[in-house]
Amino acid sequence: MLASSEMQIRRTAGSRPIGQTGSSSTGISASPIGNDKRKHESILYSDAAVRFNENSLEQCRTSVSALSGCVAGIIGLTSYKGFLFYGFSMFLLSVLIFMFIRHEHRKFFTGLNHVFVNGFFNGLLTYVLFWTFLYGMVHVY
């Protein structure tokens, strides 16, 4: 649902509207008090802020792809070792960003997959470009 042109409302999975209570398998009804209240709150996202955060993450991935491609070319990685190095560097970047935002990814992204999965292959061509260029400059010529 769109509340306005910039705000998007998203409910957590499996939540019911506020004020409704349900019964569990034991017959005890759940109330929206205490810890159960969290399930019923809506999460608001600013579309512009989420786009800005994803753009910043994409710029970080591109920069790290170029830097790790330079490192892989200079140290002379070839074949699958070079591609494993790319995977390791992208995973390390994702872990560092996840640690930097202190496990509060919901404040910055709509899902955790934006930190770990999205844009993983976008920097691959940049990586291969710098990898092969510097490998050729250092080890061939």
- What's the confidence (pLDDT) of residue 35? 54
Mean pLDDT of 74-96: 94
Would the pLDDT of 118 be above 60?
Answer: yes
Q: Is the CB of residue 81 less than 8 Å from the CB of residue 73?
A: no
DSSP β-bridge partners for residue 9 = 44
